[in-house]
Chains A and B, each alone.
Chain A
């Protein structure tokens, strides 16, 4: 049986890059929006 020979590590790295970019963006955005909203609430309390 002829099997297509593809560089496996390139696919592994691409999948992990998708994860790191998406997760990183999600965590930073969630943290930033939370801090911004809580800061605004504290400012209004004063």
Chain B
């Protein structure tokens, strides 16, 4: 892991990995999104090679929201898991890029959580008859969104004030307690939300929906990874600019002081 602790080595890897991951994800997401919207498009079906998705027996056409809502939920939770792992790497091994990777994950994690909440609400109206209920799953997901906002505010404030990145890392680790709560909420409490559809080795989703769903999860995960790489590159470049400006200011300061000292007294 420490092989990539050197930003130069990491950047040389990220420079070719970013477009590769981004375009791979884009191809998969475009196929599933286009497919979800236009299932009768024959070219798309041929190019993707997956069977057309029919209407669901109970949910009707709204089942197509599955292909964006579920990956968004997984990535919202996966994002915070990534923040917790990076925070642990920062606190335990003092990995130099761990703090940056946690900060890089926070924005896409927040956006995917918002997408999950918004698409879930839109899905809920025709399926449950309501936009929102204060049950365990929806409320814990809303809490995750506020945790992301809190983490971003804290990480930016500590970076701006020059405080230790360990403060945000501790918050990242403590906030991880919400992830198993979100995961188990539909089991622990009564909810309008369905119980887990995918568990270890088992699926209650028919194959005709499951295959495009897994393609969508892979595609969105690749896009998420590409965005994290872009954010990391941006944060590293910003840090290098700041360090260079600081060095320049320190180099110029003695010169300025000596010039002032040589000025004739009036």
Interface residues of A (CB under 8 A from B): 4, 6, 8-9, 11-16, 18-20, 22-23, 26-27, 30-31, 33-34, 36-38, 40-41, 44-45
Contacts and interface: CB of A to CB of B under 8 A. Distances in A.
Contacts of B68: 15-16, 19
Given A16-B36, A16-B37, A37-B238, A26 B126 contact: no
B119 interface: yes
A4 B240 CA distance: 58
14 contacts: A4-B126, A14-B122, A15-B119, A16-B64, A18-B115, A18-B119, A19-B33, A19-B72, A22-B118, A23-B111, A26-B107, A30-B230, A30-B231, A34-B231
A37 B61 contact: no
Given A12-B65, A15-B69, A37 B122 contact: no
A20 to B, nearest CB: 8
Contacts of A34: 230-231, 233-234, 237
A17 to B, nearest CB: 9
Contacts of A30: 107-108, 227, 230-231, 234
Contacts of B230: 30-31, 33-34
Nearest to A19: B68
Nearest to A20: B33
B237 A41 contact: yes
B241 to A, nearest CB: 5
Contacts of A4: 126, 129
Interface residues of B, number: 36
A22 B76 CA distance: 14
Given A27-B227, A34-B231, A41-B241, A15 B107 contact: no
Interface of B: 33, 36-37, 60-62, 64-65, 68-69, 72, 107-108, 111, 114-115, 118-119, 122-123, 125-126, 129, 223, 227, 230-231, 233-235, 237-238, 240-241, 244-245
Nearest to B244: A44
Given A15-B69, A19-B119, A23-B223, A6 B231 contact: no
A36 to B, nearest CB: 8
B37 A13 contact: yes
A31 B234 CA distance: 9
A23 B115 contact: yes
Contact of A40 (B60, B65, B233, B237): B237
A30 B108 CA distance: 9
